[in-house]
Structure 1
Amino acid sequence: MEPDRTLPYLGAVASLVFTVVAAAPYVLITGQTELLGAYYGAGPFGLTGGIFLAILGVVIFLSGVRGQADPTLVAGIMLAVGLAIFGLTAAWTLLLPSGVIYSFPPQYDWLEFHPWATLVASGLIGGAAAGYAFVVN
């Protein structure tokens, strides 16, 4: 197995997993638009910036292995982007007011664990980017 070829694919998959996990409440919760707006916008930066960066991360990761960009440059960019995603998600998770989470109806009590699952998924992006940067250099 070649880590310099598999780690970008792993990073792209991790970016997709983060996007799906982070967007799950938006897809699964119906009729609570104001609460969802407060949920995604909570904290100092909200979560939407991290989702946007993760979608871009898929393209950036894959550009290195497809020969459209220098792998060393891609590794450096994704290390910075992966750390930014993790930092944004960590700030959102740690500073999310509990009143926002518990204001949803009881059938959405799984939302209590969602910020932590999102944080773990963002760590996968950062880990894949760090591994790729280590292998390429």
Structure 2
Amino acid sequence: MERERLAPYLGAVACLILVALLSAPYFVIESQPPLLGDYYSAGPLGIVGALFLATLGVVIFLSSVRGRADPELVAGIMLVVGVTIFGLTALWAVAIDSTLLFSFPADYSWIEYHPWASLAVSGVVAGAAAIYAAAVY
């Protein structure tokens, strides 16, 4: 019962962290708009879809906690959404060209680790969804 109660909160917090993490370069890096556009659209699909799904994930996770939706339905939806977020983030992180990453000014050298940190957090989202689904079913 404890996992059923805590997993949605963990998933919602992980979704919020992922949204903040994925949005950080847009708000922090001021002088390189063309590079940022290429960075966010790297790979076949880019990262915007994962950002959108993570934003929705907060609402979906918390809808079962608040009693607005059936927990089994939310667990199933979030399992699919969590795995999709992880897949999109993995595809994006692997597809970013190293030339693009090293094109940013030295002040923003942390951008080299940003895709992998985003992938790790998206793994937490998928893991929380899996834990929630296992606890509910």
State the TM bucket, normalised to the shorter chain. over 0.9
Q: Which residue of 1 aligns with 2:122?
A: 122
* 2:114 pairs with 1:111: no
Distance across 1 between alignment mates of 2:34 and 2:94: 21
Aligned partners of 1:44, 1:105: CA distance in 2, in Å? 25
Question: Partners in 2 of 1:110 and 1:65 — Cα distance?
Answer: 36
Which amino acid in the other structure matches residue 60 of structure 2?
I
Distance 1:105 1:8 in 2: 39
Q: Distance in 2 between matches of 1:115 and 1:2?
A: 32
Report how many residues are paired: 137
What's the counterpart of residue 35 of structure 2?
Answer: 35
**In the alignment, structure 1 residue 68 sits paired with structure 2 residue 68:** yes
User: Residue in 2 aligned with 1:12?
Assistant: 12
Provide the residue aligned with 2:21 in structure 1.
21
After superposition, the C-alpha distances for 1:38-63 in whole angstroms (9 at most, x for unaligned) are: 00001111011101000000000000
Secondary structure of the corresponding residue to residue 69 of structure 1: coil
Percentage of identical aligned residues: 58
CA distance in 2, matches of 1:3, 1:36: 39
Which residue is 1:3 aligned to? 3
The residue aligned with 2:55 is: 55
Pair 1:88 & 2:78 matched: no
Counterparts of 1:101 and 1:23 in 2: how far apart (Å)?
16
Q: Which residues of structure 1 form unaligned runs of 5+?
A: none
